[in-house]
Amino acid sequence: MAVTRLVGECEKGSCATLYRLDGTGDLLVQGYDVEDAGALVGIEIPVGETVVRIPAEIIERYVREHLTR
């Protein structure tokens, strides 16, 4: 399936980015590895899932630009 880039931390290159999966509307998040294991304490991560860290600005910017019209 194809993806549509919605918003990212940088306009070009590979940065933290929010994408929409065409056909389903599901969101894909490209983010940073969580290097502080303490940040994951209390989170149960099932097989096949992962946790990534993204700047809050990514979501805030998407909401400002696309959902508050």
Question: pLDDT of 17-26, one tens digit each?
Answer: 999 999 998 9
pLDDT greater at residue 19 or residue 11:
19
Whole-structure pTM value = 0.77
What is each CA distance from 58 to 9, 33, 36, 37, 44, in whole angstroms? Answer: 6, 16, 21, 23, 24
Span 31-46, average pLDDT: 92
The mean of the pLDDT values for the chain is 88
Dihedral over Cα of 38, 40, 44, 45: its sign: negative
| 59 within 8 A of 3, measured Cβ to Cβ | no
Give residue limits of the domains in the chain.
3-67
Q: Rounded CA gap, 62 and 69, in Å?
A: 12
